[in-house]
Structure 1
Amino acid sequence: MKLLFTSLGSHGHTYPLLPLAVAARKAGHEVIFATGEALLPGLRKAGLDTAPVTIDISSGFAAVVGDGPMPPPEDELPGIVAKVFGDALPRLAVEKLKPVLEAEQPDLVVYESGNPGGGFAAKLAGIPAVAHGFGRVSVGDLTDSISKPLVAYAAELGIELASPLMIGDPYIDICPESVQAPDFMAGNERIPLRPVGWNEPGELPGIVDEDEPLVYLTLGTAFGNVDVLKGAIEGLAKLPVNVLVAAGPSVDVDALGGVPPNVHLAAWVPQADLLPHVALVVHHGGSGTTLGTFGAGRPQLVIPQGADQFTNAEAVLAAGVGTRLLPDEFTAEAVYTQAKALLADETIHAAAKRLAEEVASMPSPEDVAAQLPAYAR
């Protein structure tokens, strides 16, 4: 069987699909992964065949903003985001995937849920498809605003959506049922899949092997902010712990300046390998980090910066596995106070352990790969 996986061209939208893609390849299926060129070297290292398609988030913004300022004015941003994800990116996906689907003729398309254009392209080509989530399904004003242009574009293609953001295809869900959005759970064919962290191979820094508890700090690959990282470092460094900071590709490590001796700075760490070694994760609330920490059974302090991170922070709170600091609550002292409490809170540690057990009980990528032929043509 030939499978075509496709995602938006960013780490947070691509990496959640890799465990299933690799499991399908190991099961003997031909697998092609179509996404932005910057992600392709990592996919090839994972043993996958690739197809470059320009459905990068930056291309979507360029299509909407044109020569306008980037980042856009704050009061215009919600409307622009709605157009980017509800119209510009789906159009790019349909345009760029059409020749790939014609050439490859896959038996099944697996499209990342943030890339509904992949589902549209499959439907227009008459190829069965399944959606693949990258985290908890977001609900609220932003989702509602994205759905309006998406519904309009779907109608333009002659496609009727089953719900505002769902085409109606089966949905591979990597979010544990206990923290998934209840409205989504009620109305979709859900294929549970254990969230398995993915990173390129790399060495863990030596600080991991030291005796003191280790706190991991990251703002992910797309939402790095020097001032937020500096404030969090200032707060965490006052604790009797070691602090490992992953600055990510959007922040220059040198911009963080001098740090106390219990703080270690890195541009990148193999996060999936790291999480089992830490006592606390302080992060932005990106889906990959949130779900990875669920699986590792560690408490979380979420400092959301944008996108779906606020609803992920709400899910962490609701599950009783951590706390959050909203932008107007964020100070170095607040980070210190919250982190200190989380490290000592046995109730939160017990809840994190229970959630990790739920994650471990979900079907593995190999289990779900064995189910895929039932959805193919």
Structure 2
Amino acid sequence: MADTGAPDVDIARTPAPDAPAGHIVLVTIGSAGDLFPFLKMGLALREAGHKVSFLGPDQHGPYVREAGLPFHGLPADEAVLDHPDLWHPTRGFGVVWAATRPAMALVPAFMAALPPDAPCTMVCHPLALPEADLCRAARPGLRIAAVFLAPSNIPTVYDPLLLGPYRVPRWVPHGMRRWLWRTAVRYLIDPVAMPDVNAKRRAAGLAPAGSLMDHIFAIPDLSIGLFPEWFAPTQPDWPQPMLRTGFPLFDPNPHAELSSELRRFLGQGGRTLVFTPGTGNRQARAYFAHAVEASRLLGERAIFLTPHRDQLPAELPRHVLWQEYVPLRVLLPHVAVLVHHGGIGTTAEALHAGTPQLVVPLAHDQFDNGARVAALGVGRSLPATRLTQGRLLRCLEQLLDDEGLPARCRAVASNFERDVGMEEVVRRVGTCAHAVSPDASTRP
């Protein structure tokens, strides 16, 4: 995987100190955890003088418009949240892929309507890269930057490897790791994605692509990893050029405070546990049932964070409080343990706050994020397929009884003070639009 086939242009060494502001088109999918990093980038790019357009799921419109960025909504079928395989460790990718294709199909039409000669860069979620490549075929000067929100979005044979919930032992040789990864892609990813990708490529008069991973990693002129080196070091076989930053923490309501109801609940004394399966999870009824009993047996209070009240017991015991939404920034300083799904945004907020974590991963990047939390010594990981009341209780007891855990969490939180911010992202993305582009006919 070391040879990505990326365009032979070194964006890192392309100087453009006086280049005029360009048009930056941000394209994202997914939940709020996917949206907020793009919002942080969009605001920084606008502040630097660039024209910014934001394409994302319709439900994200209020967040983007409130931030003052032009928003172009893409259709999103929220019924996908009830699909039984959405959170399946291996079948979840197929559900996400199918759900995002109608929205991604509209991206080329948006790009075609822009002035053809103006410098322009697309900054894309990885699953938008096939459509970005179609846009570049029709607009040869277009530059493309890929944004990777979590380490597992970038496959490698060097980093400790997880194939879904299954860890590959460190002693397995790199050649075998490469074979395992390519086999997983061949049987679990390519049959889902490549018929659609190649149908669109044929319609655009382009040659078919072989494998999704090889295809999308050959597309970007610049890759951006929005997570720090101390969380996941850059690997030799990651695409280049690769820009690394810290976690792009973003609070849509930075002045929010705890409600009076929440302050009263927290003021009752003792320790508070917070449970959240993620804002997009509507299939967490068993998760919350186990949380009710585990917190009762521990004698601790619990806050349940979810916008979907119907998956909680109709009557909650006095030691449990339901909240539709609370900014983690204001809540986590009052929390003994955060139990969550392992989304990268939630993981980063807990690391920043120095809050111990119990990650209960279901699918996608969550297993890898949970493994990294455990490796940092600031929490544990318990796959959702193994979640029972007894296991949840034992994991929480181990975290609450670990006297050295708070100090380790504070030490990891101190890393945020040295993290790279958005300034270099703004410079490199702005430079990207003015770099000399290879002939589009030479691209894979």
TM-score normalised by structure 1 residue count: 0.82
Q: CA deviation at 1:220?
A: 0.6
SS in 2 for 1:349: helix
- Give the whole-Å Cα distance in 2 for the aligned partners of 1:329 and 1:92: 34
Q: CA deviation at 1:330?
A: 1.8
Task: Specify the alignment match of 1:133 in structure 2.
Answer: 148
Task: Specify the alignment match of 1:66 in structure 2.
Answer: none
Amino acid in structure 1 at the alignment position of 2:272: L
Pick the aligned partner of 1:233 from 265, 286, 292: 292
Task: Check whether the contact 1:147–1:164 (CA below 8 A) recurs between aligned residues.
Answer: no
- Give the whole-Å Cα distance in 2 for the aligned partners of 1:316 and 1:276: 18
SS in 2 for 1:109: strand
Task: Specify the alignment match of 2:113 in structure 1.
Answer: 103
Task: Check whether the contact 2:251–2:327 (CA below 8 A) recurs between aligned residues.
Answer: yes
- The answer to whether residue 427 in structure 2 is matched with residue 357 in structure 1 is no
Percent of pairs with identical residues: 23
* Gap change, CA 1:189 and 1:279, over 3 Å in 2: farther
* Gap change, CA 1:198 and 1:182, over 3 Å in 2: closer
SS in 2 for 1:119: helix
Pick the aligned partner of 2:37 from 2, 13, 16: 16
Amino acid in structure 1 at the alignment position of 2:247: P
- Give the whole-Å Cα distance in 2 for the aligned partners of 1:118 and 1:337: 46
- The answer to whether residue 319 in structure 2 is matched with residue 309 in structure 1 is no
Which ranges in structure 1 are unaligned for 5 or more consecutive residues? 63-68
Q: CA deviation at 1:102?
A: 2.1
Task: Check whether the contact 2:257–2:330 (CA below 8 A) recurs between aligned residues.
Answer: no
- Give the whole-Å Cα distance in 2 for the aligned partners of 1:335 and 1:83: 28
Task: Check whether the contact 1:90–1:116 (CA below 8 A) recurs between aligned residues.
Answer: no
- Give the whole-Å Cα distance in 1 for the aligned partners of 2:145 and 2:356: 32
Aligned length in residues: 364
* Gap change, CA 1:88 and 1:298, over 3 Å in 2: closer
* Gap change, CA 1:376 and 1:348, over 3 Å in 2: farther
Deviation digits for residues 30-53 of structure 1 (CA, Å, limit 9, x no counterpart): 211101211111110111111122
- The answer to whether residue 281 in structure 2 is matched with residue 223 in structure 1 is yes
Query: Mean Cα displacement is larger for which, 335-344 or 176-185?
Result: 176-185
Pick the aligned partner of 1:289 from 346, 359, 362: 346
Task: Specify the alignment match of 2:73 in structure 1.
Answer: 52
- Give the whole-Å Cα distance in 2 for the aligned partners of 1:172 and 1:74: 26
Task: Check whether the contact 2:57–2:74 (CA below 8 A) recurs between aligned residues.
Answer: yes
- Give the whole-Å Cα distance in 2 for the aligned partners of 1:358 and 1:176: 9
- Give the whole-Å Cα distance in 2 for the aligned partners of 1:37 and 1:281: 30
Task: Specify the alignment match of 2:5 in structure 1.
Answer: none
Pick the aligned partner of 1:337 from 394, 398, 421: 394
- Give the whole-Å Cα distance in 1 for the aligned partners of 2:32 and 2:219: 25
Pick the aligned partner of 1:196 from 248, 265, 270: 248
SS in 1 for 2:322: strand
Deviation digits for residues 36-79 of structure 1 (CA, Å, limit 9, x no counterpart): 2111111101111111223x3759x79xxxxxx9436999x946
SS in 1 for 2:214: coil
Pick the aligned partner of 1:214 from 272, 277, 300: 272
Q: CA deviation at 1:14?
A: 1.8
* Gap change, CA 1:346 and 1:128, over 3 Å in 2: farther
Task: Check whether the contact 1:9–1:37 (CA below 8 A) recurs between aligned residues.
Answer: no
Amino acid in structure 1 at the alignment position of 2:259: P
After superposition, residues 23-38 of structure 1 pair within 5 angstroms as 23-38=44-59
Amino acid in structure 2 at the alignment position of 1:109: M
Q: CA deviation at 1:162?
A: 7.8
Task: Check whether the contact 1:284–1:304 (CA below 8 A) recurs between aligned residues.
Answer: yes
Q: Who wins on radius of gyration, i.e. which is larger?
A: 2
* Gap change, CA 1:72 and 1:163, over 3 Å in 2: closer
- The answer to whether residue 63 in structure 2 is matched with residue 81 in structure 1 is no
Deviation digits for residues 78-118 of structure 1 (CA, Å, limit 9, x no counterpart): 46834852x7745752x311121122356211111243235
Amino acid in structure 1 at the alignment position of 2:70: D
* Gap change, CA 1:260 and 1:185, over 3 Å in 2: farther
SS in 1 for 2:363: coil
Q: CA RMSD in A?
A: 3.4
Q: CA deviation at 1:188?
A: 3.5
Task: Check whether the contact 2:148–2:225 (CA below 8 A) recurs between aligned residues.
Answer: yes
Q: CA deviation at 1:374?
A: 1.4
SS in 2 for 1:178: coil
Query: Mean Cα displacement is larger for which, 137-146 or 216-225?
Result: 137-146
Q: CA deviation at 1:245?
A: 1.3
- Give the whole-Å Cα distance in 1 for the aligned partners of 2:231 and 2:191: 26
- Give the whole-Å Cα distance in 1 for the aligned partners of 2:114 and 2:134: 13
After superposition, residues 137-148 of structure 1 pair within 5 angstroms as 137-138=152-153, 139=155, 141=163, 144=185, 145-147=188-190
Deviation digits for residues 100-159 of structure 1 (CA, Å, limit 9, x no counterpart): 112235621111124323532443333101111222324555672325655662675448
Task: Specify the alignment match of 2:174 in structure 1.
Answer: none
Task: Check whether the contact 1:90–1:117 (CA below 8 A) recurs between aligned residues.
Answer: no
SS in 2 for 1:256: coil
Task: Specify the alignment match of 1:123 in structure 2.
Answer: 136
Amino acid in structure 2 at the alignment position of 1:103: A
